[in-house]
Structure 1
């Protein structure tokens, strides 16, 4: 894995000629001209959820992404090999002018391309319910030795293409039949987190990392 802080953080901002900095947006005049700033006081829901709750948890939601102490990678490339010999290549750029993802599956019967663009309620200053709301979506199937075709995607209400209500119902309601076996257990969640941990170790050491060497699971996978 490779990763670095290439856009955010004070040093990167200074290299681009930025000279005015602030620690948090609330109460800062500099933040008013910063497109990356979150103005909690301008959004009733964000204000009640974060600004008014600071005395309870001390969490400052509107800190500057170009302030001191920013260290997490905003640019990353990872290659993952699984036990079943599948290989995943992962690329992250956390500062692009659009929010979404592209996923491609290559297999013995062809290729599937998924292209999703989502809205960001914070940057748009909109309702919290619009977080992850779809802007456009597309699935194209490329059969081996066949003509590619686009697959119709069922439109559902709710964030992340209708996935949020399904997830909340699965956790807190009466789970519906999951014929595609989409629901992940705590084990899948743990493996996902460990993949990220392994990537961070690889970035730091420059060496490949085996997830099996990080944690010993009692349940065989």
Structure 2
């Protein structure tokens, strides 16, 4: 769902977003730079549009004939269609504001005008000597990431499963969290960290409880850095 959402809105147009390598993957690259304490020295990349857009949708059979979901009969049985009117937050933030800004948040992901890639790969050499292979798939049936480090003493494997599977958008109920990721869904997964030392059996490393709300707890930490700790009395409405 998260991947598809970039293809409903302005991100789908390369001239406006720069593509997902800029808009999404840059966060991942920042993490790797931090983990390695290094910066890229040489990069090779490849990307393609193979799932979203009109041509791919016609090949797969997912294509429906509508420009945007709101008011379109053809979108009623489309599991990729976003019903802005069925979600309180999305309706007030986007649908009710269209008369002012003209912004359509619910375009057909298999429509015309998709100019960004949905499948991207990189090979990177860092100035400290490490190399990285990277792949971003914007149409995966699950949401999360896997990171593996191979070193002189073994291998470290991190898997963060943010959602184990993605339900269709058909029947999306009103409320918050189902689209924007500010609350955990019923299909939420979790993290797993495995250490594989040389000459020893692998062992799982115990991790603190994973906070699904607010981008893994990152939103709350970022706001605290910017604005200071939250006053419990104020948060409770006292």
TM-score of the aligned structures, taking structure 2 as reference length: 0.66
Other-structure match for 1:150: 204
Distance 1:123 1:168 in 2: 30
Q: Aligned match of 1:20 in 64, 88, 98?
A: 64
Distance 1:66 1:89 in 2: 29
Distance 2:78 2:155 in 1: 41
Other-structure match for 1:198: none
The answer on 1:128 being equivalent to 2:172 is: no
Q: Secondary structure of 2:106's partner?
A: coil
Which segment is superposed worse, 24-33 or 141-150?
A: 141-150
TM-score of the aligned structures, taking structure 1 as reference length: 0.71
Displacement of 1:19 in angstroms is 5.8
Q: Aligned match of 1:72 in 116, 119, 124?
A: 116
1:159-197 superposed Cα distances (whole Å, 9 cap, x missing partner): 33322211222233359xxxxxxxxxxxxxxxxxxxxxx
Distance 1:45 1:92 in 2: 29
Question: Does the CA contact (< 8 Å) of 1:139 and 1:150 recur in 2?
Answer: yes
Question: Does the CA contact (< 8 Å) of 1:118 and 1:160 recur in 2?
Answer: no
Q: Secondary structure of 2:219's partner?
A: helix
Which segment is superposed worse, 19-28 or 129-138?
A: 129-138
Displacement of 1:122 in angstroms is 8.8
Question: Does the CA contact (< 8 Å) of 1:110 and 1:143 recur in 2?
Answer: yes
Question: Does the CA contact (< 8 Å) of 1:155 and 1:161 recur in 2?
Answer: no
Structure 1: gaps spanning 5 or more residues: 176-221
Which stretches of structure 1, 4 residues or more, deviate above 6 A after TM superposition? Answer: none
Which segment is superposed worse, 148-157 or 118-127?
A: 118-127
Question: Does the CA contact (< 8 Å) of 2:123 and 2:133 recur in 1?
Answer: yes
Other-structure match for 1:178: none
